[in-house]
Amino acid sequence: MLKRIVPDEFVQSVYEIDFNALQRRGVKAAIVDLDNTLVESNRPEATPELIRWLDRLQGMGFKVMIVSNNNRTRVSRFATPLRVPYIHRARKPLSAAFKKAMRRLEVGPGETVMVGDQLFTDVLGGNALGLHTILVVPVSEAEGFFTKLNRLLERVVFRWMKQRGLLGWEEQQK
């Protein structure tokens, strides 16, 4: 079970992902989480840096979709001005939203990367379908109640990963 929550890659932020390498491996689409992956959960709109990042990805030919467990209002207000398609109330790690995203993006699991900040939603859901998964350090510590519970469980898993040499960055050893 624990191996299902081990991401394929660890990075400090979305800006450190090597999309050139992913493209060489045949990846054509990125499913990305919103809150604490792209921006803080209380930031209503994209930063200029994030807008440049999205433009770069789309300029490289990547299809991008936001898949979030948050509500329609939050996700649509963020994604619509960016012209990025989205799925709200995704119920990650359940597979339905991931499958729906891949259908809408017209890609298969081997052509898709899942980028998120949580092991038990983003990584577990992506790994269950065979997506390439990338875990990012959360951009903020401001989080909701259920996310805080997930973080407690994540600490246990990070200790397990560290013992096996699977931990990719020092900041998560709290």
For residue 41, tell me if it sits in a domain: yes
Domain hosting 138: range is 2-142
Is 12 inside a domain boundary? yes
DSSP secondary structure of 75-127: HHHHHGGGT--EE-S--TTSSHHHHHHHHHHT--GGGEEEEES-IIIIIHHHH
Going by pLDDT thresholds of 50, 70 and 90, the confidence category of residue 158 is low
- Cβ proximity of 2 and 153 under 8 Å: no
User: In this predicted structure, what is the pLDDT of residue 78?
Assistant: 98
For tokens 């939203």, the residue is 97
What's 14's domain CATH number?
3.40.50.1000
Q: What pLDDT is recorded for position 161?
A: 67
More confident residue, 2 or 80: 80
The answer to whether residue 171 scores a pLDDT higher than 50 is: no
3-class state of residue 48 by DSSP: helix
Read off φ and ψ for residue 93, nearest 5 degrees. -95, 5
Percent of the chain residues past pLDDT 90, beyond the cut: 71
| pLDDT of amino acid 88 | 98
Question: What is the count of structural domains for the chain?
Answer: 1
Q: Does residue 131 form part of some domain?
A: yes
Split at pLDDT 50, 70, 90, the class of 70 is very high
For the stretch 30-45, what's the b/e string if a residue is b when 16 or more beta carbons lie within 10 angstroms of its beta carbon?
bbbbbbbbbbebebee
**Does residue 10 lie in a domain region?**
yes
Please indicate, yes or no, if residue 167 is contained in any of the structural domains.
no
Residue 157 lies in a domain: no
Q: According to the model, what pLDDT value does residue 4 have?
A: 80
- Let me know if residue 155 belongs to a domain: no
Asked whether residue 154 is domain-assigned, the answer is no
3-12, 128-137, 140-149: least confidently modelled range: 140-149
Does pLDDT of 145 surpass 70? no
Q: Angle at CA 132, nearest 5°, toward 64 and 48?
A: 35
Token pair recorded at residue 116: 């998120």
Residue in 57, 122, 116 with CA at minimum distance from that of residue 84: 57
34-48, 96-110, 145-159: which has the minimum mean pLDDT? 145-159
